[in-house]
Structure 1
């Protein structure tokens, strides 16, 4: 069995143009005259300095290369919390400018796609995703409070148009179910090539409120599962806690074991990298190995909390984005704890960082000791 190659580039040693050229030497794609969709991690209307979205430097270098190769390019995503629309969000992040006239709002043309999933029968998917000849996935190197990591697999959540994302969260209130659903979506259109922006990594409570750490890396592979596993190891994760990687491997969508990956470049563990609270190194040791208990642990370790009324402009985006309707405005956000499923959409889509994550680990441990 051949190994999946993952290359880790150092942006201090190569400029982005030469990195992109080398990516296509190692992972050839016949792009001339083909429809190529570039799928960045756009998420919402965040400034490039926040490190939430794919760096425009990477997008511009890729667009330039594909233009020279004669490809028919579309750059697009379906961000949440659009705050003025998709184009406005793309301009705020610098992605629109970096696309050099090739950015499109891919949410305007979509179709119901039948899903082979335990959770949903069909979803609204952008035509650009289903019609492209080649799909290039451009995720960010960052953590995710709910999914552990936001890599190649998680980035394909963006193929879903509009309010469909909230419905998916509602359909999968348990973390392990959400991990499985991520793979269901990834299977709709598995990327042909993945190039990950790791110029600045996001640690802690990503994907929007974590801290930035400059690591000057770009990762590339045709196996998004292997790439995600490599990123997770560099962060210091126990791979077994990143359930969607394991599910994708079980479905033969890629490999994750170190012996099955051919690594080129420096993929060593990043010292002092902060993991999300609910995926810390202590989780596996603390949570008993029995069905359902790890789900309970993950849900109880962190809960979103509105904490900065001085930042809040009462836009109501958090309430609109809550998949279970747990937030009302009075006049500031009020969270109904009985309804909340700790999916963190409110914190993720808040542009002004008005939310924090509360560590409830001790609550869980006290509860479990009583059960024992």
Structure 2
């Protein structure tokens, strides 16, 4: 099964439940290196950013399923904080020490250059080498977005983009994406999309990705899937948004990714 939801009770109960529904253990047991990619866009606490408790439940599930090396990696977009500062402020440094796993700053990682002259925005792209040596689990939170309409697991991959190439003219470290955001998200995910997504939709932000009104009542779900497009489409549904009206969700990413290879 490629996609599932479960009612949120607690991370300890609901993360294993939703991952079992898609038989994630079968896939994880075959991995040697796994990268967990939370959404740590800035230093704000959950539900703006991914809860460290959610990621720890995923770490525990991986350890029960696989002997793979685990790294939690992010490239924060905040103009005023470096990624390791945000790891520390949001409890990820303590998590890494407690679990004996690594943290990595994708903003300063060794890069690989990729090219596809058919892309509308990024004819070439620089992404961290680690993104191609590791199985990627994207762990976004359910949020509306002022520019992208919905921010989910596809947009979460922007954390891979190194600021030295993608800061553009804006204050955010990935501001270049904002010039043609929907097309840029599609381009990025044709170069590298997540292998597995676990979206924390236990609460949800209804209006804006950096704060504002929480979903009322809370969305109360976790979503997991091997198809990132279907995961984000379900996220749009939970926010009451027709995914067909969201340009980066109405594109057939699978066909585009196959064309790239």
TM-score (normalizing by structure 2):
0.83
The residue number in structure 1 matching 2:52 is: 56
Matched, 1:178 2:159: no
Matched, 1:199 2:195: no
Deviations 1:246-291 (A, max 9, x none): 123573669xxxxxxxxxxxxxxxxxxxxxxxxxxxxxxxxxxxxx
Structure 2 residues not aligned, in runs of 5+: 169-173
Q: Is the 8 A contact 2:5 2:222 kept in 1?
A: yes
Structure 1 residues not aligned, in runs of 5+: 255-372
| C-alpha distance 33-201 of structure 1, shift in aligned 2 (>3 A) | closer
The residue number in structure 2 matching 1:287 is: none
The residue number in structure 2 matching 1:97 is: 94
SS at the partner of 1:70?
Answer: coil
Q: How does 1:215-364 map to 2 (within 5 A)?
A: 215-249=219-253, 251=255
Q: Distance in 2 between matches of 1:159 and 1:200?
A: 25
| C-alpha distance 145-183 of structure 1, shift in aligned 2 (>3 A) | same
The residue number in structure 1 matching 2:32 is: 34
> Which has the larger Rg?
1
Q: Is the 8 A contact 2:3 2:225 kept in 1?
A: yes
Q: Distance in 2 between matches of 1:242 and 1:94?
A: 33
SS at the partner of 1:36?
Answer: strand
Q: Is the 8 A contact 1:157 1:182 kept in 2?
A: yes
RMSD of the alignment, in Å?
2.4
TM-superposed deviation, 1:102:
2.5
Deviations 1:309-343 (A, max 9, x none): xxxxxxxxxxxxxxxxxxxxxxxxxxxxxxxxxxx
| C-alpha distance 234-223 of structure 1, shift in aligned 2 (>3 A) | same
Q: Distance in 2 between matches of 1:161 and 1:195?
A: 23
Q: Higher relative contact order by CA 8 Å / sep ≥ 6: 1 or 2?
A: 2
User: How many residue pairs are counted as aligned between the two chains?
Assistant: 242
TM-score (normalizing by structure 1):
0.59
Deviations 1:212-238 (A, max 9, x none): 233321111111111111111221112
TM-superposed deviation, 1:5:
4.1
The residue number in structure 1 matching 2:82 is: 85
| C-alpha distance 216-94 of structure 1, shift in aligned 2 (>3 A) | farther
| C-alpha distance 96-199 of structure 1, shift in aligned 2 (>3 A) | farther
The residue number in structure 2 matching 1:146 is: 147
